[in-house]
Structure 1
Amino acid sequence: MNTNKQNPYRANSAQGPAQQGGFVSARPAQPRHAANPYSANACGAARPSTQNAVDYSRANYGSNMGGGKHGRGGKHGGSGKSRVWTIVLIVAAIVLAVSLGVLGVIGYGYWHGTKVYDDISATSGLAKEETALADMTVNWDALREQNEDIVGWVYMPGTSIDYPIVQGENDEEYLQKDFTGSTSGLVHKGTIFLSADNAGDFSDSNSFIYGHNMNDETMFAHILAMTDQATFDAARTFYILTPTQNYRCRTYALDVVKNTETNILQPNFADEAAMRSYMTARINDSAVGAPTDVDLASVTKLFTLITCGDDYANTRAVLCGGCVEQAAPANAE
């Protein structure tokens, strides 16, 4: 988001009259025939001659221009500079106030977006501390009251990933719309969503789940952070919970690909051999060292989490997970 037209979101020394080319003070012009600029008349009064008056007037004018009331270095010249600096300071103050206002609105947008999903998490009643996969239950009825497009929940222990999953009419619907249906504000976290090309009940061999890479490390931002080996190794398990089935997944690769590389989006495979070939390709292209604790031959279902890369528009970070356990939840529908 570009708030100040440059980001997505970031002594003049006074010169004297002579230095500026202005007039300098001049002495009164001397008369042609007397040392005193004024000559005495018959009555004893001092009166300048016509030529002397002209010379004196010119000299006095020059004096005024050099440093007098109307000179460049005088009162009016200084007032002109003062007005310029006053205007500059006023403009700077306005720009600062507007910038702070925009930053405040953006900050509020991030805070509000986080609060929306914190409230939804509380509503879900997700039981995270249970040791048995079947005991990890979600209050689907409460979530449907807020959004009928709810199809699942994604949870990765030790990270910020803990969100409802929706499925829209297309893959653009929930890019800006949050779970409550709001698209207001300058910050749009959208909603984690299942690809419209996938079956809504997660029955495909490979389900693709998308989320934004947010600057406040929410939504799917952690996936891009997992391009660091230590970060990848620290959180290897994630859960996909649905009304009919729960899945525990282990990550086996993290690819960073161009957004035009659509061959990675394969929801189903011709046979098991084709799935193994797909997984091997993901491991070979992985940005981190692939773990060896996932038995590819035993994996029958894949879940792929996708977010934007560092440049947002041109690359995608693709976290590949294989289901290693599944069970019907205790409150299965």
Structure 2
Amino acid sequence: MKYIKEIMILAICLMVLGFSASVLFGIWCMYQEGVSEYRGLQEFAEEESEADADDSGVVKKKTAVDFDSLKEINGDIVAWIKCKELGINYPVVQGTDNSYYLTHTFSGEEHISGCIFMDCVNKPDFTDDNTILYGHNMKDGSMFGSFSQFMEETATVFLYTPEGEFIYQIIDDQMVDVSEGKYFRTVYSTEDFASLSETIAAHTGNALVRGEHLLTLSTCNGNANRRHLILCKEVTETNEKQMEEGTAGEVIQIEAGQEETTATAQKGAAKETQEAETK
């Protein structure tokens, strides 16, 4: 009788172990489906060497994106985002709301990885004061899942569009409450921009310059009320020259003790922050 009980316990343990292994394998396969799709799409955004080397003798490379082919797969595409330091190399879409691409890939398949997408209220040409891109915090590090491992002091984000290339420099990396609406605006009043500039300056020591175009990368972090944001500012010939000459530009200054302006986050951003969950 004793041996029968031991055999039954062993059998139950083996069944539980087998079930757990099958579940983990299923999850792994599901993740691989998403990774495989986006890896396949990368053939439409390949690096090409320029014919002439620069003054240092280094052959420059640029990314050429085949938007015509990508539009045949998904007409919602607006850009391609690439950042070596974050391991990001994905198409960017913009839907009519901030929920569809939480659960659908670039090809339209329903999948937990979703797609990198622009806030539905943003202008697709990246001319807003702040362009917001959302992506899932995938446990395998794909999509925006690398944010928690980001340890660089600075990094460059490239955005390629049918009209041209935009270059951004990462300036801040922090966790914020979804109620902090200043991070989720696409257009800023002078007061709102001043409030954002003060907050970033307190965190990084560097204030913003009024008129700079910002890029905010947003992902979830396991807490429905918090978001992990990476903030970037556009690199232009003007601010490159200012940095070289040591000029500060038109920096927004905030008087000590000034009350921070508060407001509700945009409807689109709020919808994303309520529905997105850590994957």
The TM-score range, normalised by the shorter chain, is 0.7 to 0.9
Rg bigger for which structure?
1
- State the partner residue of 2:23: 102
Structure 2 vs 1, CA of residues 89 and 136 (structure 1 numbering), >3 Å: closer, same or farther? Answer: closer
- State the partner residue of 2:131: 207
What SS is found at the alignment partner of 1:252?
strand
**Structure 2: gaps of 5 or more residues:** 238-279
- State the partner residue of 2:214: 302
1:24-63 to structure 2, matched below 5 A, reads none
Distance, in Å, in 1 between the alignment partners of 2:87 and 2:36 is: 13
Q: What is the Cα deviation at residue 277 of structure 1?
A: 4.4
- State the partner residue of 2:258: none
- State the partner residue of 1:190: 114
- State the partner residue of 2:259: none
Structure 2 vs 1, CA of residues 266 and 116 (structure 1 numbering), >3 Å: closer, same or farther? Answer: same
Paired positions, count: 230
CA contact (8 A) 2:117 2:134 kept: yes
TM-score (norm 1): 0.62
Alignment of 1:86 with 2:7, yes or no, is: yes
- Which letter maps to 2:125? D
What SS is found at the alignment partner of 1:232?
coil
- State the partner residue of 1:264: 183
RMSD: 2.6
- Which letter maps to 1:216? D
What SS is found at the alignment partner of 2:209?
helix
What SS is found at the alignment partner of 1:126?
strand
Distance, in Å, in 2 between the alignment partners of 1:118 and 1:223 is: 19
Distance, in Å, in 2 between the alignment partners of 1:181 and 1:143 is: 13
Percent of paired sites with the same residue: 27
Alignment of 1:282 with 2:200, yes or no, is: yes
Q: What is the Cα deviation at residue 94 of structure 1?
A: 1.3
CA contact (8 A) 2:45 2:63 kept: no
- State the partner residue of 2:71: 144
- State the partner residue of 1:244: 163
Once the two structures are superposed, residues 192-223 of structure 1 have per-residue CA deviations (whole angstroms, 9 ceiling, x without a partner) of 01011212232211100011111111111222
- State the partner residue of 1:219: 143
What SS is found at the alignment partner of 2:47?
coil
Q: What is the Cα deviation at residue 274 of structure 1?
A: 5.0
**Structure 1: gaps of 5 or more residues:** 1-78, 327-333
What SS is found at the alignment partner of 2:198?
helix
Distance, in Å, in 2 between the alignment partners of 1:90 and 1:141 is: 57
Alignment of 1:117 with 2:38, yes or no, is: yes
- Which letter maps to 2:114? G
Distance, in Å, in 2 between the alignment partners of 1:307 and 1:153 is: 18
TM-score (norm 2): 0.74
Greater RCO, CA 8 A, separation 6+: 2
